[in-house]
Structure 1
Amino acid sequence: MRLWFGVIVGVIGVGILLSLGLWQVQRLAWKEDLLARIEREIAADPVPLRAVLEPELRRYSPVTVSGTFDVDAEPIRILASRKTVGAVYRIIRPFQAEGYGRILVDTGWIVDDAGMPSAPADEQITLVGNLDTPIEADGFTPAPDLEGNIWFARDVPEMARALSTEPVLVVLRDAPETDLGVTPWPVDTAGIPNDHLQYAITWFSLALIWGAMTVYFLLRTRRSAR
């Protein structure tokens, strides 16, 4: 009876763990296809802003937009980190987009002690970037330090309210012939987690361990019965 109980528990355990591993393999294929589609979208030819806002906003879409920066409004500084640099600030500015209205532009990053760069005043410029709707804030994200102008996450609706713009964010890829005093931080897929291979390996490893433990238990039980 004890032997059969061990067989049943072992088979069920290995089966569950293998099914979880196979599910993660399926999720891996789905995620890789999703990332490939996003990368193709990011690298596509830019189109006018309004074309990817109607009938609904298409995240990651490359856009080209002409207009002027509002140099009278203080830009938002968002504390972030670059692997090879350390602490940096993303600089978010309001931009009067020709044919649309005021939008947000993530112009790029500066090191934390570089000082706030100035934007071109009353200069009509053309920007190339990608639409994004980042969701970086959660229940553990501190509220913005409005007095020190330090934010801790990109929150498009909140940033739009603070800078009196539409809740539309363009992440700069290039500003031809214009120096904004920042290093662009274009949209990519690096921030999209893809841990399914590690999860699959973990579940398959646990299945192997469970199976080995089951065999050991059965052999020991059989020897004890003798």
Structure 2
Amino acid sequence: MSPVSGAGRVKVEVEDMIGRAGSHATSKGSASRFVAVLAVLLGVLVFLGLGIWQLERRVWKLDLIARVDQRIHAPVVDAPGPQDWSGLSASDYEYRHVRLTGRFEGGANTLVQAVTELGGGYWVLTPMRDDRGFTVLVNRGFVPQERKAEFERENAGFAATATVDGLLRISEPRGGFLRSNDPAANRWYSRDVAAIAKARGLAEVAPYFIDAEASGAAGWPRGGLTVVTFRNSHLVYALTWFALAAMLAMALGRPIFVGRRKRDAAR
């Protein structure tokens, strides 16, 4: 066998290098494709999971709507007393139609900023000492911003014996959206029962408040403005997530389908 010349050896070495480079590029391309396929599959699973979660949320929302509707239209019952407070939860008591009889202590009014169908203004929370010996914060209704000063003058010494029918609501701790309650400055953005009771020096206060029904009077505060409708768009969200999952699955399957058609055509 004749020895390979110098030029021949260089040619062989170059071809070997090109072959190794091509093999490396092919291997790298295959790895990239594998990662891309894995990412798409993960995206499909995530979107499917989100769609299923929205369907579960829809079932929960429909159950909530049915329970709230039943409680609102149920016969009125006495507001829960101290013996029931330890087991009081939103799932069992929120929006229950209750009655309270006692005496308002208007000197301890608390105005909580609110936006209603009547515009911007305040909820008026007034403690009522129930005849059974405990205190409940009653949301007597809404006062518009421009009537605040007038209302405060007229209700500075407000006190009256009354019977209140309304909806039981669970305390709203910590504050409103992006705004924390500031008891020291008497600025309130949520109906935080514990914080209001502490700021007003109230004792034996129920862990809930009552949204009073409309009184029929034309004055202020205006009751009966509780919003009891719940947005239920979970089915739309679920269909959106499922559609995205289907689009990703189609994007993943298209190259496979096109490649198979080309191979069939080449035969």
| Correspondent of 1:108 among 141, 144, 148 | 141
Deviates more, 1:129-138 or 1:62-71: 129-138
Determine the C-alpha separation between the residues in 1 that align with 2:210 and 2:178.
26
4+ runs deviating over 3 angstroms: 4-16, 50-53, 117-123, 136-140, 177-180, 185-190, 192-195, 219-226
Q: In structure 2, how many angstroms separate the alpha carbons of the residues matched to 1:123 and 1:16?
A: 58
Task: Say if 1:50 and 1:16 are closer, same or farther in 2 by CA, change over 3 A.
Answer: closer
The one-letter amino acid of 2:112's match is: I
Once structures 1 and 2 are overlaid, which stretch shifts more, 158-167 or 113-122? 113-122
Q: Secondary structure at the match of 2:84?
A: coil
The runs of 5 or more residues in structure 1 that have no matched partner are none
Distance of 1:65 and 1:9 partners within structure 2: 59
Q: Indicate yes or no: 2:242 matched with 1:207.
A: no
Distance 1:43 1:20 in 2: 35
Q: How does 1:76-95 map to 2 (within 5 A)?
A: 76-82=110-116, 84-95=117-128
Instruction: Work out whether 1:156 is the aligned partner of 2:196.
Output: no
RMSD of aligned residue pairs (Cα, Å): 3.5
Q: Compared with structure 1, are the counterparts of its residues 53 and 33 closer, same or farther at alpha carbon in structure 2 (3 Å cutoff)? A: farther
State whether residues 100 and 164 of structure 2, in contact with CA within 8 Å, keep that contact through their aligned partners in structure 1.
yes
1:71 aligns with 2:106: yes
SS in 1 for 2:254: helix
Question: 2:168–2:208: 8 Å Cα contact kept in structure 1?
Answer: yes
Residues 181-220 of structure 1 aligned to structure 2 (within 5 Å): 181-190=220-229, 194-219=232-257
1:26 deviates by 2.7
Q: Which has the higher helix share?
A: 2
**C-alpha contact 2:173 2:193 (8 A) present in aligned 1:** no
The letter of the residue matching 2:170 is: T
Once the two structures are TM-superposed, the CA of residue 36 in structure 1 deviates from its matched residue by 0.9
Give the conservation status (yes or no) of the 8 Å contact 2:171–2:193: yes
CA distance in 1, matches of 2:222, 2:132: 27
| Structure-1 residue corresponding to 2:96 | 61
1:224 Cα offset (Å): 8.0
Kindly tell me the number of residue pairs found equivalent between the two proteins: 220
TM-score, normalized by length of structure 1? 0.78
TM-score normalised to structure 2 length? 0.67
Which structure ranks higher in relative contact order (CA pairs < 8 Å, sequence separation ≥ 6)? 1
Structure 1 residue identity aligned to 2:98: V
Structure showing greater radius of gyration is 2
1:143 lines up with 2:178 in the alignment: no
2:129 is paired with a residue whose SS is strand
Query: Cα–Cα, structure 1 residues 158 and 194, in superposed 2: closer, same or farther, change >3 Å?
Result: farther
- Offset of residue 40 of structure 1: 1.0
Q: Distance in 2 between matches of 1:221 and 1:47?
A: 71
Secondary structure of 1:45's aligned partner: coil
Structure 1 match to 2:7: none
